[in-house]
Amino acid sequence: MTKRLYETMFLLDNQLVREDWSKAKALVTDTITKHGGKLLSARRWDERRLAYPIQGKRRATFVLSYHEMDSENEHGIALRRDLELNERVLRYLMLQVEKLPEGELEKAQAESAADFVVPAPPPDDAPDIVERMPMREEGRRDELDVAVPDLNNLVEEEV
C-alpha cells in the first residue's frame, strides 16, 4: 500500500476551542489516527468570522493538519464519515499534497510548547450592524413601490 500526504483544514466550533484548546485539537488528531493516519503536523491556523452561518455558528477556529494515510479508499471514506457526523467539526477540506510546506513542523512545535496560549478572540466578534431603510409614511408611495392588483376581486370579461 502506498502512503499519501494529505493537508486538511478543519473549521471547529469556537465553543469547544474556548472551553479547552487541547481537547479541540485532540478531536482532530485522534480522528485521524483512529483511521490509520500518521499525523505529521496539526496546529491552530486562525479564528475568523464566517461569511455565512454554519450550523448557527458565526465564528470558527481553523485547524490545519498534515498527515499520511494509505491510498486505500476505505480508510479515507471512514475518516470523512466520522468528520461529517461530528457536530463540533463545522466543515473540513482534505487535499492530497506533494510535500509538507517549509516551516510547518516548526509552527506546529511552537504551538505544542508549554507556554503557548490561545489568542483572545478578535474585536470583530460583535454582530454586524445592519442599516435599514427608514419607514415610509402611511399612504405615501415611493418610486420603488409596485402596485399589485388584488386578484380576488378580478371579474372575468364576457366574450
* pLDDT averaged over every residue in the chain: 80
**Would residue 91 be called left, alpha or beta, if left means φ above 0 and alpha means ψ between -120 and 50 degrees?**
beta
The pTM for the full model equals 0.70
Of 14, 104, 17, nearest in space to 56 by CA: 14
Distance of CA 133 to the CA centre of its chain: 32
143/30: higher pLDDT? 30
Q: What is the mean pLDDT of residues 114-129?
A: 62
Q: With contact defined as beta carbons under 8 Å apart, do 49 and 59 qualify?
A: yes
Position of cell 488528531?
A: 29
pLDDT in tens, 5-28: 999 999 999 888 888 888 999 999
The predicted structure's pLDDT at residue 127: 46
Residue 85 cell numbers, joined: 457526523
pLDDT in tens, 42-77: 999 988 888 899 998 888 999 999 999 987 666 678
- Given a cut of 80, is residue 131 above it in pLDDT? no
The predicted structure's pLDDT at residue 5: 92
Q: What is the mean pLDDT of residues 110-139?
A: 61
Task: Read off the pLDDT band of 98 (50, 70, 90).
Answer: very high
- Given a cut of 70, is residue 133 above it in pLDDT? no
The predicted structure's pLDDT at residue 106: 84
Long-range pairs of 45-50 with CB within 8 A, sequence gap ≥ 24: 45/9, 47/14, 47/17, 47/119, 47/121, 47/122, 49/124, 49/125, 50/11
Position of cell 505544542?
A: 112
Question: Residues of the chain with pLDDT > 70: what percent?
Answer: 70
